[in-house]
Structure 1
Amino acid sequence: MPGNRPLDVQLSRRQMLQLGTGMAVLGLAGACSSPDATEGAIGPDSPQVRAYAEAEARRFPGGTPVAYALTAAQTDVDIAGTRTAAWLYNTQLPGPILRATVGDRVQVRFRNQLPDPTTVHWHGLAIRNDMDGVPDVTQAPIPAGDEFVYDFIPPDPGTYWYHTHGDLQRGRGLYGALIVDDPRAAAAYDTEFVVALSDWLTDRTPTQVFDQLRGGGMASMPGPDMTSAALGGDAGDVRYPVYLVNGRPPADPAVFTARPGQRARIRLINAGDDTAFRVALGGHRLTVTDTDGFPVEPVDTDSVLIGMGERYDAVVTLQDGVFPLVAVAEGKGAQGFAVVRTGGGAAPDLAVTPGELTAPPLTVADLRATDAARLPVVDPSVTLEASLGGDMKRYTWTVNGQAYPDHAPLAVHSDQRVRLVYTNTTTMWHPMHLHGHTFAVARSDGSGPRKDTVIVLPGQTVAVDIDTTNPGQWITHCHNDYHLAAGMATIFSYLS
């Protein structure tokens, strides 16, 4: 049973510059210092990255070509009768669900019709470094009016998502689900609900909120109504006027339909900027089966706590009727709301509080990786420290004492077992994400779940184990978009 116990142990602050086609993509990676002058950073255009891509193509020789087109553009959306300015993919909120099968050759032609440069990041996928979508690290920013073709092979099944990695752009609406199916696995469910959760500003932009935070504006700072025991204290930095489920507010909820007795797979994605959600389906218990795309030993729970960037999959046998799917904005006194309908009847009140929300939620501490998903138990060949710090008065967030883009790279070599230790010295919680890899939450018996994003509570340490099999320059950062913009990031840097 889940318990209320500790959890296991967008881009830079500057405006992105429109760069010419001749720019060296290693703007940051190439600046990484090395402990040995004879060693150099393995960049996205390196022979090692090309060799990785070729090896992946050989590993999946029968992959089917899958083509998508994405266009990012300015528009506006109707949020419960209020028109709100937005930046969207294909004019949709969230963006369209992209779907592929393990081993497919996915090509996404991306067009940037925004006024600013941008990129697209494929969150959670261990793909080739030059397709990861981080400006100035893995590629040049895509200028306004230009396009870029992302070309990659998804190696693992599961629930993933895509989003901009431009500075403070995600909160304007640039996100969507990416589902990778397993051709070898029989579906253990009858229907599927893809559920993207987000926090939404109606009268300000994320950049305006960030400027207010930097200026010490108390309207966006934690108060008595923004605390959570489950998150170790402060729940967030920003009060939002509305919380969305699949782009819909509680007053105009998304509706998921099925038949009584069907087994539904619920794919939960937290695409928010500053909000953790406690999710429950009224009248039902959830059986959590996966987190961040990888399977865990099934565990039953009334609710699950999901931080920004995390994903949880759960299955549930649906009852007959109409039920609330509630995503409480943890510690913020509000909630997102959707409806699951399997029969007749009136929809629940949008302010309903299901009884399932009263017990402590499931967290990563309650999860164990399946045998097939576990990393082998070996001693790490190197241990790296990532100390998370911050100065709330100046609203600066740091890794190892430096605010990105200033950073001391975390240097690794290929074919190592690396233990990365995130230590939170602040009074805020941080959902820490590593690009290009799926790590194991470190446990002595090897049972830690495989993840790419993990919550680190105030004053706590979370250690993760990583097999360095994907060369390149990879950012690791807090997935609170305001903390990232204020500097909480560094580079996990492969050296030759």
Structure 2
Amino acid sequence: MQIDRRGLLRAGLGLLGGAALSACGGGSRPAAAPSFVTPTGEQVLAAERSRRTGPVRDFRLVAAESQVDLGGPVVRTWTYDGRVPGTPIRVRAGEVVRARLANRLPQDTSVHWHGLALRNDADGVPGVTQQPIASGAEHVYEFAAAHPGTYWFHPHSGTQLDRGLYAPLIVDDPREPLAYDDEWIVVLDDWLDGVTGTPEDVLAELSKGMGGMSHGSMGHGGSPSSSTHMMMGATSLLLGGDAGDVRYPHFLLNGRVPASPETFRAKPGSRVRIRVVNAGGDTAFRVALAGHRLTVTHTDGFPVRPAEADALLVGMGERYDVLVTLKDGVFPLVALAEGKDGLARALVRASGAASAPAAGARPRELDGDVARYSKLQPAEQARLAPKSPTRSVRLELTGSMMAYDWAINGRRYDPSVIHAVRSGERVRLSFVNRTTMWHPMHLHGHTFALAGSGVRKDTAIVLPGATLDVDFDADNPGLWMIHCHNIYHAESGMMTLLGYQRT
């Protein structure tokens, strides 16, 4: 069955019509609600036409329940094409991705193309940019991939991201300035689906909040003994305290548990580009390659001035590209589940004779120099042109574990609340974290610059009690999500919308 994207979208946008819409900032009601550009509006189509400079590339995805071997544990989960991670999509900048998704899942789904400045009606947010893709239906996403970089895709439907529905999307630069001999895509994940329950089970338990749990005795990992999924006592100095909500039995690197790791093979002296993607639901990872320093070249697809570091801290939804020159030997690439008791790992083999280190080995580099935002500077070609913000949007991050009432500006996600901007504006988003948790905040359809340094990102960690200001140019019309990329925080309500006013 072929979905009529435009017809169903027009029907779905009726959900937004006539609603009380928020102009910006604190959510006050304007005297007259602004009129917004729709996801299929002419401004959206005009922006898309300007991005198309290459041919159309066709891809097909099948979302279905599958049995997957994680390197020992065998689970039933939901996947793209029966793999975890799914098969990467790879195009050159300016080419058009035409991806036909066949939904063989038992419920509606969607695909969000994370980090890309793409046409609004391809953004994959049900009820906002498209109708849900029904079970048994097909849907075609078509969009130009304008900017080179490391991206990925996943559903924007409920907690489906915390199953196996994710895969990399790489946009190659036809004028690639970096010199390297080989490349390795590394996708990190926290895993429980088919082992201790489902993501829906997790959300149902967390939604009761700490007030709904029995805390008379503490079980494994500092969690209440009556709790299957809620984690307490996960702490991290790098994350400002509480590291996460969910206890996971496994942490994966490219779909493998640490006892049965993937092995990347190269010659000693090879210069390798490693593209790191955190596809986790509730876990940041601290990543290091034993015996090596990393040269950070990109974050969230955009280049930075080369910066040396021992380790990366990668929040959910973030990506980092690094270069490393391999020594002779076998070295673990370890992704420590930050603040939690576990790790993911793979092996880098640049020698045929050396033996692999133990599965639980933790490189000393994990405790070394971490590539924080403050260490990074944008490459000149990635720096926004000097300009003062012409509009500010204040987004207070609110809620707590006690009631599990995560929200923005004290209000759980409401599609009738839309923060207004206009095309051509320089917009400042102020993420003001009023909670005791960290939040990786993601803006759809744009890349923002961290105020002060100018580093370009689309997902950024906001520490507890801190304010993070970011600026972006309003150059991609439509209705766009802003949300925490902790899937359970988002589904509990820490999401809102940004909309372009009609001109």
Q: TM-score, normalised by structure 1?
A: 0.92
Candidates 35, 52, 55, aligned match of 2:50: 55
Hey, what does 1:327 align to over in structure 2?
335
Q: Deviations over 1:219-257 (max 9, x none)?
A: 333433x10000000000001101000000001111111
Hey, what does 1:148 align to over in structure 2?
139
Matched ranges for 1:439-454 at <5 A: 439-443=448-452, 447-454=453-460
Hey, what does 2:252 align to over in structure 1?
244
SS in 2 for 1:204: coil
What is the CA distance between 1:29 and its match in structure 2? 4.4
CA distance in 2, matches of 1:330, 1:264: 25
Candidates 189, 197, 206, aligned match of 1:213: 206
What is the CA distance between 1:49 and its match in structure 2? 1.2
CA distance in 2, matches of 1:99, 1:113: 24
Q: Deviations over 1:35-65 (max 9, x none)?
A: 36373011112121122222323xx2xx022
Hey, what does 1:378 align to over in structure 2?
387
Matched ranges for 1:332-371 at <5 A: 332-344=340-352, 345-371=354-380
Hey, what does 2:72 align to over in structure 1?
81
CA distance in 2, matches of 1:29, 1:442: 32
SS in 1 for 2:437: coil
Structure 2 residue runs without a partner (length 5+): 1-5, 24-29, 214-223
Hey, what does 2:470 align to over in structure 1?
464
CA distance in 1, matches of 2:92, 2:482: 26
Hey, what does 1:11 align to over in structure 2?
none
Hey, what does 1:15 align to over in structure 2?
none
SS in 1 for 2:245: coil
CA distance in 1, matches of 2:31, 2:276: 44
Distance 1:380 1:396, change over 3 A: same
Hey, what does 2:498 align to over in structure 1?
492
Candidates 26, 30, 37, aligned match of 1:42: 37
Counterpart of 1:357, as a letter, is L
Hey, what does 1:13 align to over in structure 2?
none
CA distance in 1, matches of 2:493, 2:362: 37
CA distance in 1, matches of 2:254, 2:279: 10
CA contact (8 A) 1:419 1:463 kept: yes
Matched ranges for 1:210-359 at <5 A: 210-216=203-209, 217=213, 218=224, 219=227, 220-224=229-233, 226-344=234-352, 345-359=354-368
Structure 1 residue runs without a partner (length 5+): 1-18
CA distance in 2, matches of 1:105, 1:362: 33
What is the CA distance between 1:80 and its match in structure 2? 3.7
Counterpart of 2:459, as a letter, is T
1:184 aligns with 2:164: no
Counterpart of 2:301, as a letter, is G
CA distance in 1, matches of 2:20, 2:135: 28
What is the CA distance between 1:72 and its match in structure 2? 0.2
CA contact (8 A) 1:66 1:106 kept: yes
CA contact (8 A) 2:400 2:436 kept: no
SS in 2 for 1:396: coil
CA contact (8 A) 2:59 2:100 kept: yes
Kindly report the root-mean-square deviation, in angstroms, between the aligned alpha carbons of the 2 structures. 1.6
Counterpart of 2:401, as a letter, is M
Distance 1:426 1:28, change over 3 A: farther
CA distance in 1, matches of 2:447, 2:469: 13
Q: Deviations over 1:388-409 (max 9, x none)?
A: 0013222111001110136632
Hey, what does 1:164 align to over in structure 2?
155
SS in 2 for 1:96: coil
Tell which deviates more after alignment, 326-335 or 186-195. 186-195
Tell which deviates more after alignment, 334-343 or 387-396. 387-396
CA distance in 2, matches of 1:42, 1:164: 24
1:402 aligns with 2:397: no
CA contact (8 A) 1:29 1:493 kept: no
Tell which deviates more after alignment, 470-479 or 75-84. 75-84
Q: Deviations over 1:203-232 (max 9, x none)?
A: 2101101111112344333433x1000000
Higher relative contact order (CA 8 A, sep 6+): 1
CA distance in 2, matches of 1:407, 1:230: 36
Distance 1:161 1:229, change over 3 A: same
Distance 1:454 1:128, change over 3 A: same
What is the CA distance between 1:75 and its match in structure 2? 1.1
Candidates 415, 435, 445, aligned match of 1:436: 445
Q: Deviations over 1:69-90 (max 9, x none)?
A: 0010001212343321210001
SS in 2 for 1:207: helix
Distance 1:287 1:23, change over 3 A: same
Hey, what does 1:196 align to over in structure 2?
187
CA contact (8 A) 2:51 2:145 kept: no
Candidates 424, 430, 436, aligned match of 1:415: 424
